[in-house]
Amino acid sequence: MIAERWLNAALYLALLAVPLAAWALDEPFVITLATKIAILAIAGVGLNLALGLGGLVSLGHAAFFGIGGYAMGILASHAQSYTPLMQSPFLIEGTKSMPVIWLVAIVVSAAAALVIGALSLRTTGVYFIMVTLAFGQMLFFFAISWPAYGGEDGLSIYVRNGFPGLNTLDPIQFFAIAFVILSLVLILVSRLSRSAFGLALDGARQNVARAETVGINPFRVRLVAFTISGAITGLAGALFADLNRFVSPSMFSWQTSGEIMIFVILGGVARLYGPLAGAMLFILLEHFLGGISEFWHIYLGLVLLGVVLFARGGLIGTLSRAAAPHD
């Protein structure tokens, strides 16, 4: 386990050091890649809370990623066109302020996760997978068919939203925002997994009859975990939309759900830093394989197959086992 701790620290520091070096060398593209990794890692950490600790195989987390993205898109588009979101019964204006957008993204995606979770958690196992996938698809089709915010074409935001005291258009400053949020989310989930709630959630995953028999209601514990998980992934969606200054229904697509799950798996399920390792690996694969072949998804698929069939601890599990053979 000591080896894993060192590996985590190395990954975390690499994510900080590479963009700093790129900043010194004036390579903004590398900074943007690192920012993307940090944001996708946040989404993965969110999913990992439900998937790794709670054992809830959600194939619909794109729903929350997309909701976060559209929270940003809708608020910012109203702000940039100076039209209020709503006039009656009370006035709601758009905003270009990141903290406000984040708050809205968190609240709305948490509410959606609460509703979707309450329905999906009536089922378990393979039903749960299919139901979460279906609810994700429902929001995808809704986003396509609702014309007010761009429908199929999505929504462009011309200027990145603001954060008090920072110039968010400067890549390194926006990276700093994403990195700090990732750090906070990692601390939060780390505390959570060692808390009373984390023990109950993990216990219910390992043996649901045991949890019930000591007086724990597994449905409630899982629903709360699913809601927090959705809220974190929603926050990542808002940041991702700000990174691209664009939102589209593809944020809601089943491929997005699958990719968020890939971050978690490539890195190692139920490992706190797994999604960070997975997002790094994914973006690097996308960047390098994508440079070699336009059909790079074939190679991604083969890598994923290999990890699932042969390297079940993911990147962190495999590397920390290699580094600590006596573990």
Binding residues for another protein (CB under 8 A): 51, 57, 59, 119-120, 122-123, 125-127, 129-131, 133-135, 137-138, 141-142, 144-148, 191-192, 194-200, 202-203, 206-207, 209-218, 220-221, 224, 254, 258, 261-262, 265, 269, 295-298, 300-302, 304-305, 307-309, 312
CB of 192 to another protein, least distance (A): 5
Q: How far is CA 263 from the centre of its chain?
A: 9
CB of 123 to another protein, least distance (A): 5
Residue 325, helix vs strand vs coil = coil
CB of 10 to another protein, least distance (A): 25
Q: 7 pairs with which residues across the strands? A: none
Count CB atoms within 10 A of the CB of residue 54: 26
Between residues 95 and 193, which has the closer beta carbon with respect to another protein?
193
Give the integer Cα–Cα distance in Å for 284 and 286.
Answer: 5
CB of 148 to another protein, least distance (A): 8
- Whether the CB-CB separation of 295 and 303 falls below 8 Å is answered with no
Between residues 173 and 190, which has the closer beta carbon with respect to another protein?
190
- Whether the CB-CB separation of 229 and 116 falls below 8 Å is answered with no
Between residues 5 and 194, which has the closer beta carbon with respect to another protein?
194
Between residues 125 and 165, which has the closer beta carbon with respect to another protein?
125
CB of 163 to another protein, least distance (A): 26
Q: 156 pairs with which residues across the strands? A: 246
Sign of the Cα torsion 285, 254, 68, 313 reads negative
Between residues 163 and 252, which has the closer beta carbon with respect to another protein?
252
Closest Cα partner for 105 from 66, 139, 140?
66
